Amino acid sequence: MRYSLGIDAGGTYTDAVVIRDGDGEVVDLNKSLTTYPELLTGIRSCLDGIDPDILQKVSFASVSTTLATNSVLEDTGYPVGLILVNETEIHNRSGIENFISVKGGHDSSGNEVCPLDIESVKAFVNRLMDKVSAFAVSSYFSVRNPDHELTIKDLITELTGLPVVCGHELSQDLGAYERGVTAYLNARLIPVTRDFMDAVQGELHRRNPDMNIMMLKCDGSMVGIGEALKKPIESVFSGPAASLVGASFLSGSDTCAVIDVGGTSTDVSLMYEGLPKLSDSGAIVGGWHTKVRAIHMETSAMGGDSHVWVKNHVTNIGPKKVIPLCLAADIYPEIIEKVKKGQTIQRNQYGENIQLTKFFVRTGKAPLELSSAEKELLERIKDRPLAVTEIYWDRNHLPSPGALDTLIRKRLIKAIGFTPTDALHVLGDYDQWNSEASKTAASTLAALAGTDELEFCRQVKKRVARNMALNLVSFLLEKVDRNEIYKVLESESFARFRIDVPVVLLGGPVPAYLDELNRIIDAEIIVPENASVGNAVGAVAGKGVSRLEILIRSNFSESKYNLRAKSFIVFYPGGRKEFSDYHEALIFGERTGTELILGYMADSGLDENEVKIDINKKDILVHDVGIPVETRLVFLGIGEAR
């Protein structure tokens, strides 16, 4: 009997799950807290909880991770030199420091519009070669003719030996600047991803040397390690993609909407006939608009670990994330007495960081570039949790909320507070950790909100469920204003939204929200077994998927009497070719697309004999012209990953 292993290193938890290949049953699983920024420790801890005898029988493993997303969001990638061809402008606030824009590029037919200024490129590369880890190149209409990008790539390789990422290698969509951004981010992530995957491979092969390892992309498909290292930008949002694939697998639903309630956010996405619904515009991460194909999803900053706080009798949830008090009580038992003891804070001082139920603790990360006020505050915070009044016990004022925020953003301190997960512990709907601190904090916050602790927690739970419904309906009704949907969900009427596809819930505490969600929307709601590790299941349950387009465009010569095509140009990923006969061009396009799909699958470690390829042919016809003026061949290849 052989098994497959899925690992998801998420924002809060790292999950591992083993699936039996024969029948798809989950035979072992484990969860551990994610260790950030060094994810390997959390993965190692999670694997330690899996039966080692079963790990010895694992033939295939796949990983999904927040690494690429966090690296972009936190600006922690490696330095890169960006070369834009055809003098494309860089946006004023792009944050890209090392770049040059030179003459060159092609037109929409792939014809050179201007010779490449190779000398300017050479001077730029020589100046930066000892200051960057890689280069990125994007040329105008390189998707129609990549010659200038490839010329620059050859030059950089010869001069430096450093990695070079070309825009046409990552996307066939138009938009030279966006392709440049995608190539730039990809180049920044190559060293980060290589270090991570080397460590993961070493850890997995230490336990089982024969394990074949793959990685999940943000479109829900899998690639081999070699391909993943070339294109790490494609792993952004692989966590939400894993949840979508995992939910479909666990529920047995090829078409379903998925609500994934994580620690930081709630994500909604859609699986349709076995494939994720993708975004038409490309992934947007950290303000960067890329050309990366990613799943389409609706996200809100409300999750199980969102901070619940009260000011002026109003209960707020999020948007910031904290360590739940119930979990903190297991890690730091003294926090139970601290919550019971309480603090003396004036009501006009309350805010998200200044709360009777909020505490702060050092992370152990070394500080860099702190102001004197931040440095002084950090020195007062210890490696055990302290309330704000304990931090400044010898002063007649409280710490600056802004300074606390800055130290949290720099990951120098962590916040602990009341969360929806704590509310579920108080209500008895969830019992993962210690509920004693949660109950005391609920009583304190309820008094500030003017209610009792059980009603306070019921209202928190109801708001989280309503947010889940709002995300779901907003996702499915894209053209309807979100505020109007919210009004309907908030109204006490005899009407509900009906959802015509199954709705699958994922996340540790989601069973607690089932009844509440059923009161808000009319849908078949499924909480599958092992919903708490759905992301890890998705990491290993994905398929190998490759999508590409080939364009055949007629090149016309006009005469007084008729319009006749004198040639036919085939544009394909990595090149172009001209033919005198349309049918020869069509045969070449179909053959080339098939070969590229099969080559991609083979490079990803998949058996090309098990790959299914669908070709969708779209013609543009003009009256009195016997052949299409344009033919677009859309290829979709699907292969089993194990």
Q: Which CATH architecture has domain 544-639?
A: 2-Layer Sandwich (3.30)
Cβ 102 vs Cβ 83: under 8 Å? yes
Residue 642 is predicted with a pLDDT of: 60
Burial (CB count <10 Å: 0-12, 13-18, 19+), residue 209: exposed
Phi/psi region, residue 282 (left: phi>0; alpha: psi -120 to 50; beta: rest), is left
Q: Any residues with CB less than 8 A from the CB of 637 and at least 6 apart, and which?
A: 544, 545, 546, 547, 597, 598, 600, 601, 611, 612, 613, 614
Averaged pLDDT for residues 2-24: 85
Q: Any residues with CB less than 8 A from the CB of 352 and at least 6 apart, and which?
A: 307, 309, 316, 320, 401
Which has the higher per-residue pLDDT, 495 or 451?
451
Averaged pLDDT for residues 332-353: 84
Sequence spans of domains, the chain: 80-191, 306-456, 544-639
Q: What percent of the chain has pLDDT over 90?
A: 32
Averaged pLDDT for residues 42-53: 90
Per-residue model confidence as pLDDT tens digits over 591-608: 999 999 998 888 777 777
Give the containing element (helix H, strand E) for 576. strand 575-579
Per-residue model confidence as pLDDT tens digits over 459-487: 999 999 999 999 999 999 988 998 999 88
Q: How confident is the model at residue 37 (pLDDT cuts 50, 70, 90)?
A: low
- Across 378-408, b (16+ Cβ under 10 Å) vs e yields beebeeebbbbbbbbeeeeebbeeebbebbb
Burial (CB count <10 Å: 0-12, 13-18, 19+), residue 591: exposed
Mean pLDDT of the chain: 85
Nearest to 110 by CA among 84, 165, 83, 147: 147
Averaged pLDDT for residues 234-256: 88
Place of tokens 């019992």: 431
590: pLDDT strictly greater than 70: yes
- Which pTM value belongs to this model? 0.78
Cβ 636 vs Cβ 614: under 8 Å? yes
Diameter over CA atoms, the chain: 95
Q: Which residues pair with 543 in a beta bridge?
A: 221
618: pLDDT strictly greater than 50: yes
Across 32-46, 73-87, 232-246, 306-320, the highest mean pLDDT is recorded for 306-320
Residue 615 is predicted with a pLDDT of: 92
Residue 289 is predicted with a pLDDT of: 73
